[in-house]
Amino acid sequence: MDNYRDSPVRPYILTSGRAHPSRNTIRPETLLVVDADAPPPMSVSREHRALLDMCGGVLSLAEAAVYLRLPVSLVVVIASDLVDSGHLSIRSALRHTPPSAELLEKVLDGLRKL
């Protein structure tokens, strides 16, 4: 794939003029996984196809942007389209577990002592 900087086509043309994804849950660290059960997409852009081809395993959105040589903001819109069509799944790269009540009590106690 050509570097978008070398192309006369502006990045927003690749997303039909959209600058924002349909979902705000996709971040650079989000992991992308192809849904193997989804039928092949009928009409998608070269960039959509390239993203699907490279996500055979698990790949972060930031890594995909580097491989595609496209801005992360553009790849977010493309990935969002593919999630909406059922061709990609997203997974959080980080597993956030809230702190225990005991830890929060200790922090609160410590703050009160100040």
- Kindly give, in sequence order, each residue whose CB lies less than 8 Å from that of residue 24, ignoring residues fewer than 6 positions away: none
Three-state secondary-structure class, residue 33: strand
**Cα–Cα–Cα angle for 81, 63, 21, nearest 5°?**
25
CA distance 69 to 5: 9
Instruction: Kindly state the helix (H) or strand (E) to which residue 66 belongs, with its residue range.
Output: helix 61-68
Query: Tokens 């992991």 map to which residue?
Result: 31
Structure tokens at 73: 């903001």
pLDDT digit string (tens) for the chain, length 114 residues: 445 455 555 555 565 556 556 556 788 888 898 887 777 777 777 887 888 888 777 889 999 999 888 888 888 888 888 888 888 888 875 556 777 889 889 999 988 987
Which 8-state DSSP code applies to residue 57? Answer: S
Tell me what pLDDT residue 102 has: 92
Looking at domain 4-113, which CATH architecture does it have?
Orthogonal Bundle (1.10)
> Looking at the chain, how many residues does it have?
114
